[in-house]
Chains A and B, each alone.
Chain A
Amino acid sequence: MSGQPNPRVGLFVTCLVDAIRPSIGFSAIQLLEEAGCRVEVPQAQTCCGQPALNSGDEKVAAALARQTIAAFEGLDYIVLPSGSCAGTIVHGYPDLLANDPVWAPRAEAMAAKTHEITSFLVDVMGFHTKGRRLEATATYHDSCAGLRELGIAAQPRALLAEVEGLQMRGLEGNDVCCGFGGTFCVKYSDISNAIVTEKAEAIERTEADLLLAGDLGCLMNMAGKLNRRGTRTRCFHTIEVLAGRADGPAIGEEG
C-alpha cells in the first residue's frame, strides 16, 4: 500500500518510553523490521511538545514542533508507539504552525506521513502477526487520543487476534478515559484518582491475565493503580505482546 516495499521509517521513541520502558521502543523496531521497514532513530529527537501544548505555552510547543519536523522530515514515515504523541504531530503541529509560511507546509507534510505504530503496520504496511503464541487472557483499553484523534480501534485488535492462544475479553467502558491526561493526573490528582479507580475496577471485573493499551502514559496510570490496589493484572503495551515480549517482565515487574 505504501508504494515502496522497504520504506525508511523514523522511530519517534517518545519521552516516557525512552525513560521508563525502553522495551516498547525495541518492540517497535522489531515489528517495523519484520514488516520490511528500514528503521532509523534520529538522534535529534526529544519530546513532541505535548506538555507545552496542553499547558498553553504555544511558543515552546511550536519550537519543539519545528525541531521534530527538522529531525524527521527527510524520512518516508514517522512512526510512534503512542497515539497521543502521534496525534500531537498529526493535528497539533499543523495548527501550531498554520500562520508560519515556511513551516506550515512542512508541518502538513510531516502530519501526512506520521502514524501510530499499530495503525501504520496494518493500514500502511498490510502487516500480519505471524508465529506468535501466548496462552493468556487479555483485555484492551482504547487510549483516547489514538481512538478519537486517529481512529485507532480495529488495527490493534486485528493484530492481537492473530496471536495464537491469546483470548481477548471485552472491557466495560473500554473507550472511557483512564484519568491520565498528562499533567492533569498530578494537577488534579484527586479527580484523576477517582477516574482511574473506576477504570481499575472495570479491569478487575474482566479477570483477564493481561491489560493491553497503546499509550505508556495511560498504562502507567492504570498499572500503578492496579498495583496499589494489590491487583495482579500484568500490563503491557500492545506491541510488546505482538513482538513476543510478554514472557518478559510486565510494567512494574523486575527484569
Chain B
Amino acid sequence: MSAPEASVQVSFKNRAKTALADRTLKIAIDRTTGTAEAKRAVAVAAFPEFQDARARGRAIKDHVIAHLDHYLEQFERNATASGAKVHWASDDAEARAIITRICLDAKAKLVTRSKSMLGEEIGLPHALADAGIERVETDLAEHIIQLAGEAPSHIVWPAMHRTREQVAELFKIAHHPPPAADDPATMVQSARRELRAKFLGADIGISGSNFLVADTGATCTVTNEGNAELTTTPPRIHIVTAGIEKIVPTTAHALSLLRLLVRSATGGELTQYTTFHCGPKRPGDADGPEEMHIVLVDNGRTRMLANEFREMLRCIRCGACMNHCVVYRQIGGHAYGGTYPGPMGSVLTPVLNGLAGSRDLPNACTMNGRCAEVCPVEIPIPTLLRAWRIRSWRERLEPGSLRAGIGIWAVLARRPGLYRLASRIGVRAIRLFGKGGWIARLPLAGGWTAHRDLPRPTGRTFMDQYRAQQADKGDRP
C-alpha cells in the first residue's frame, strides 16, 4: 500500500506501544474502568428486567432507524413550531460552517460548551479556534483536557487517562488562584470558581443531545454536573449539535433508553440532571436563550443505513463496550486515534475516516464478545468488526505477508492428504527448535516467543498416532 497509509498503520501500533509503557496511564484506566464495570454489574443485578429493557431498547432504535426520515421530519416540524431553527448538515465540514456562521453572525466572543462527542466528531473545537472565538469547556473532565490540550480518551469520562494527582498538577498551574489543596472536593470547587464567570459571560452555549424527541421537538441532555443547564440557559443563543440517529418517537421512548444508558454508563439509576430543551425563551419565561438552533448531522450515518454497519446506528454512547474491553483497558482511548475509542470506535472510525487509514482498529480485537454481551442495545460489535475485516480483505488492504500466509495455508487446508503431510513435517521441524517441553525462540513466530514460551509439539500428530492405532486394531481404516 501507499507510504502515507503504511505510516498510519505503524502509528496505531506505535501509539499502543507508547500507551503500554505508560504505567500511570494504566493506573488511571484501571481505576475508572474497574469502578465502571463493578457499578454497572451492581446496577444490572438490581434491575431484574434488564434483559427485557435491552430488547425494548433495541426495538425502539431499530424502529427509528427503519423510519428515520419520518421521525426526523416530524422532529423538524415540532422543533420549528417551538421556535427553534433546525439546520441540516450532510457532513462535518457543513456542520462546522453552520455553527461558525451562527457564532460570527451573533458576533460571539465567548462560547461555552457542554460535553458532546458529536462536537468532537465534527471538529468543532478547532473550528471555533480558527474563527477566533474563545471556547470554554464546562464539563469538569472536558475542562481538564482543554487545559491539557488533549482530545477525549473515553466517550463518558473524557479525562479518564489522567490520574487525580496529574489533574492536581494541571490545576495548580492553570487556576487563578490555584486550588488550596489537591483533594477532589477542593479541586472541584476550584474548577467551579474558574468556570462560573464564563457561564454568565458567554454569548453562546453549545450542547450535544442524548435524545431528539420527535413528537415534541425537544432535545434532551443528561449530565451529572449540571453544566449543560448552565451552558444552555444563560447565553443569548443555544446551539444543539446532534447526530441524526439520536431521534426517538416520544419522551417515553427517551426514558426507556435512559434507563439503559445510565446503568450501562455509570451504574446509576438516573443522571443527576436530565433536561429537555424545547425551543427558545417564550414570553413570560424567567430565563432561557433568545435563539435556539439545532444542527442535525449526518456525516456518514445515512450511508450506514444502507450497508452492513446499520446496527451500529443503535449505539447510545454509554461506553460499556470500552469499559469491558481487554484491549481498551491496556491501551486507553488515545491509541485508537479516532474520535470514538474502544470497540464502538473501531466500528465507527473506518466509517468516519475511511478504512485504509484505520484498518488496524477492527483487527486489534480478540473477538472475545464481551462488548456485545454488555451492550445495552445488543449491537453485535464483533460481527461488525469482522465485516470491516472482510471489506479490508476484499479491498486488498491487508499486508501482502498475511495474504500470502493465508493463501499458502488455504492451499494445504483444502487438500486433506497434503495438509496431513505438511502437519507431520511442520511438527517435526518445530520440535527441532526446542529441548524438553518448551520452545523459547521460533523463527517467524517472534510475535509469540517475544513474550511467552511455545509448548513444544509432543511428538507425532494426532492423526498419525490415531491411524497407527487403527492399523494395529486392523478393524477400521
Contact = CB atoms under 8 A, between A and B. Distances in A.
A192 B451 contact: yes
A254 B437 contact: yes
Contacts of A254: 436-437
B426 interface: yes
Interface stretch (B199-207, B288-296, B298-306, B387-395): B387-395
B461 A45 contact: no
Contacts of A181: 365-368
B463 A13 contact: yes
Contacts of B445: 186
B454 A220 contact: yes
Contacts of B414: 46, 60, 63-64, 67
A190 interface: yes
Contact of A51 (B327, B406, B457, B458): B406
Interface stretch (A15-23, A101-109, A128-136, A201-209): A15-23
B358 to A, nearest CB: 14
Given A184-B366, A228-B453, A60 B406 contact: yes
B458 A58 contact: no
A145 B413 contact: no
B437 A148 contact: no
A151 to B, nearest CB: 11
Interface stretch (B12-20, B79-87, B135-143, B272-280): B12-20
B364 A46 contact: no
A44 B173 CA distance: 70
Contacts of B392: 56
B39 interface: no
B194 interface: no
Pick from A58, A149, A196, A224 the residue with the most CB of B within 10 Å.
Answer: A224
Pick from B423, B427, B447, B459 the residue with the most CB of A within 10 Å.
Answer: B447
A252 B462 contact: no
Nearest to A24: B462
Given A54-B389, A55-B402, A17 B451 contact: no
Contact of A58 (B364, B368, B390, B453): B390
B448 interface: yes
B393 A55 contact: yes
A179 B365 CA distance: 9
A43 B416 contact: yes
Contacts of B426: 19
Contacts of B460: 22
Nearest to A186: B447
B130 to A, nearest CB: 36
Given A55-B398, A224-B452, A191 B386 contact: no
A249 interface: yes
B370 A191 contact: no
Given A148-B373, A249-B437, A254-B437, A20 B386 contact: no
A180 B366 contact: yes
Interface in B422-477: 423, 426-427, 436-438, 445-448, 450-463, 465-467, 477
A186 B444 CA distance: 10
Contacts of A166: none
Contact of B326 (A53, A58, A177, A225): A177
A186 B390 CA distance: 19
Interface residues of B, number: 65
B50 interface: no
Where chain B touches its partner, the secondary structure class is: helix
Contact of A227 (B370, B438, B448, B462): B438
Contact of B406 (A57, A186, A188, A195): A57
B452 A44 contact: no
Contacts of B409: 47, 51-52
Contact of A56 (B373, B398, B448): B398
Contact of B368 (A55, A177, A220): A177
A155 interface: no
B145 to A, nearest CB: 24
B128 interface: no
Given A52-B410, A191-B20, A196 B451 contact: yes
B398 A144 contact: no
A55 to B, nearest CB: 6
A225 B451 contact: yes
A189 interface: yes
Contacts of A45: 416
A93 to B, nearest CB: 14
B368 A191 contact: no
B330 interface: yes
29 contacts: A18-B462, A21-B457, A22-B459, A25-B466, A26-B466, A46-B414, A52-B409, A55-B398, A55-B406, A67-B414, A144-B370, A177-B368, A179-B366, A184-B367, A187-B402, A188-B363, A189-B447, A189-B451, A190-B17, A191-B20, A191-B331, A193-B452, A196-B451, A196-B452, A228-B451, A228-B452, A251-B455, A252-B453, A255-B459
Interface of B: 13, 16-17, 20, 326-327, 330-331, 363-370, 372-373, 386, 388-394, 398, 402, 406, 409-410, 412-416, 419, 423, 426-427, 436-438, 445-448, 450-463, 465-467, 477
Given A18-B463, A144-B367, A195-B366, 5 more contacts: A22-B466, A43-B477, A144-B370, A177-B326, A253-B437
